[in-house]
Amino acid sequence: MLHYEPKDLAVPEVHRLLLGGVAPRPIALVSTISKDGMNNLSPFSFFNAFGANPPVVAFSPSRRGRDASLKDTYNNLIATKECVIQAVTHSMVEQVSLASAEFTPDVDEFIKSGLTPIDSDIVKPKRVKESPFQIECKLIEMRSFGEGGASANIATCEVLKFHVAEDIFTNGIIDPIKIDLVARMSGDFYSRAGSGVFVVEKPIGKKCIGYDQVPKHIRESDIYSANDLGKFGNSESIPNENEVHVFINKINEEKLEQFEKGFDAFVRYQRLNDYKRMLKAALEIDSNLKRNLELTVKCALQNNDMDFAWKAALYAEKIK
């Protein structure tokens, strides 16, 4: 590990560490209006939401690193106390980047970026038509932390109105693939968030057994990863011996259509993610039973079939 205290580093180095390690960051595309009525549009990735009652978001239009001057977004917010924040999708990311160029305060960044301004319902700043998620906000407070270059000005805002496209929902939640958001990482790197989506079951409301209660032989297997063990620890109970026995008997007796025996078939089922056939094949191969069972368990875990994974893992424990 490398170890640093901020006081020993130049500000750009501190900034680079934060950009790389506090990532991926959501991007707020912030629309404000000057007291003379000029539109402003700029992206900010030091941004997040902090509560829902009332809905509160915050972002940081920091002082410019170069000369510690204040950005137009900051000045507009102080003057008018209003903004609209939009989520940034992959289809608009180049235009959003263009909006971050340093145009003078008399330049309308909607025109420069080619993004389309539409009226808001409550606040004066315009919304960006291309974004499927737009929130009209009022400034609650602006807090400044330092006066040097790259120092933070945290604008905390209350959401007054949400505008959300109907077609980004699946089963009542915003679908991460349909919304196709991008996030900011270090340097010039962005992440297309929908491409890396996976599921982690929430432990909330569950009495999880915890990592420490996962049986020792499972914890000590060199087949399971730390994430696999975390999934076991996220369970509420461990099947008993009889349940394992019934499960294995059922698999042994079950007639599966076009089932093939042998190690080649086992490997083929593994590639197909078919852990049920993997288990049946493993039970019929004479050698390496424990290892093949554990590979089967791993496949069941990848498919979040915890009941199957537990029973097969506990059966594997009995094999010498």
Ligand X SMILES: Cc1cc2nc3c(=O)[nH]c(=O)nc-3n(C[C@H](O)[C@H](O)[C@H](O)COP(=O)(O)O)c2cc1C
SS3 of the chain: helix, strand, coil, percent, to 5: 40, 25, 40
Q: Which stretch binds ligand X (CB under 6 A): 4-12, 40-48, 205-213, 274-282?
A: 40-48
Does 26 bind ligand X (CB under 6 A)? Our answer is no
Q: Which amino acid is at 162?
A: F
Closest approach of ligand X to the CB of residue 53, in Å: 25
- Among the listed residues 24, 31, 33, 44, the single contact to ligand X using CB under 6 A: 44
Closest approach of ligand X to the CB of residue 63, in Å: 8
Instruction: Evaluate the omega torsion of the peptide bond into residue 54 and state whether it is cis, within 30 degrees of 0.
Output: yes
Residue-wise DSSP of 203-254: -TT-----GGGS-HHHHT-SSS-HHHHHHHHT-S----HHHHHHHHHHHHH-
Closest approach of ligand X to the CB of residue 62, in Å: 4
Q: Which stretch binds ligand X (CB under 6 A): 6-14, 68-76, 123-131, 312-320?
A: 68-76
**184 vs 311, which CB is nearer to ligand X?**
184
Does 40 bind ligand X (CB under 6 A)? Our answer is yes
- Among the listed residues 60, 80, 134, 234, the single contact to ligand X using CB under 6 A: 60
Does 191 bind ligand X (CB under 6 A)? Our answer is no
Half-sphere exposure of 183 (CA within 13 A, CB side): 18
Best CA proximity match to 294, nearest among 277, 271, 310: 310
User: Binders of ligand X: how many residues, by CB under 6 A?
Assistant: 17
Q: How far are the Cα atoms of 24, 46, 93 from residue 184, in angstroms, in the given order?
A: 5, 9, 10
List contacts with ligand X (CB under 6 A).
27, 40, 42-46, 60-62, 71-73, 97, 100, 102, 184
